[in-house]
Structure 1
């Protein structure tokens, strides 16, 4: 073999080695980013679980209005674990959410005239009378079982 062939072969081997090292560097970055994302997702899941425990406890203790609590729990459950959210024991939260989805919130609520507000509040009271026991049962189940048996599914 000529020295030119050896030189070209060596240059090619160095180029391949350099590209392999660069590829390894890029893969390490990908793996590090995946670990960071998994850690962030785990922290988010734990935070949502804690928020759900707080809301369910507050709902049971009467520190949170039933309708507001049910809406907040439903939204957090959807983000926490869609399978848990779709459990039949959580259906009441979905019902209350759907029954109040048309009600204006925040600034739109403040912009309503008193008659419209009273009409919505009357509807809230009817919903609360109709679903209070089921919502309390669902909140108790979430605290006692639902959130406990669900370390991570999302």
Structure 2
């Protein structure tokens, strides 16, 4: 083996070793990022689960208006666990969310005339009368069972 061949062989081996070391470094960064993302997702799920507990308890204690509570619970459930959100025992939250989807919020609510606001408020009262018991049962189920189940999609 002449000197040129040996030099090229050693250079090639050094290049392969350097690339392998760099690839290992990149994979370690990927694994660290995956662990960080999993940790952040777990913290997010715990935070949302805690928020759902508070909302369901507040709804049961009547510290939160039924319509507002149902809307907030539905949105958080969708972000927490879609399987739990779509459970038949949580359907009342979806029903109330959809029944109020056309109601203006925030600044748009403030600019409504009084007659329009009263019409929406009457609709809220009708929805509350119709769905209060089911919403309370669903909130109780969430607290007692639903939020204690393992998550199915995170």
Q: Is the 8 A contact 1:48 1:80 kept in 2?
A: yes
Q: Residue in 2 aligned with 1:68?
A: 68
Q: Secondary structure at the match of 1:102?
A: coil
RMSD: 0.8
Where do 1:83-122 residues align within 5 Å?
A: 83-122=83-122
Aligned-pair CA distance for 1:46 = 0.5
Q: TM-score, normalised by structure 1?
A: 0.98
> Once the 2 structures are TM-superposed, how far is the Cα of residue 153 of structure 1 from its aligned partner?
3.1
The 8 Å contact of residues 92 and 131 in structure 1, kept in 2 or not, is answered as: yes
Which blocks of at least 5 consecutive residues in structure 2 are unaligned?
none
Structure 1: state its 5+ residue gaps.
none
For residues 24 and 78 of structure 1, the distance between their equivalents in structure 2, rounded to whole angstroms, comes to 38
Q: Secondary structure at the match of 1:147?
A: helix
Q: CA deviation at 1:152?
A: 5.6
> TM-score, normalised on structure 2?
0.98
Instruction: Work out whether residues 45 and 152 of structure 1, in 8 Å CA contact, stay in contact via their aligned partners in 2.
Output: no
Question: What pairs up with 1:12-91 in 2 under 5 angstroms?
Answer: 12-91=12-91
Partner of 1:146: 146
Q: 1:55 touches 1:69 (CA, 8 Å); kept in 2?
A: yes
What does residue 7 of structure 1 align with? 7
Shift of 1:69: 0.1
Q: Paired residue for 1:135? A: 135
What is the CA distance between 1:149 and its match in structure 2?
A: 1.1
**3-state SS of the aligned residue for 2:12?**
helix
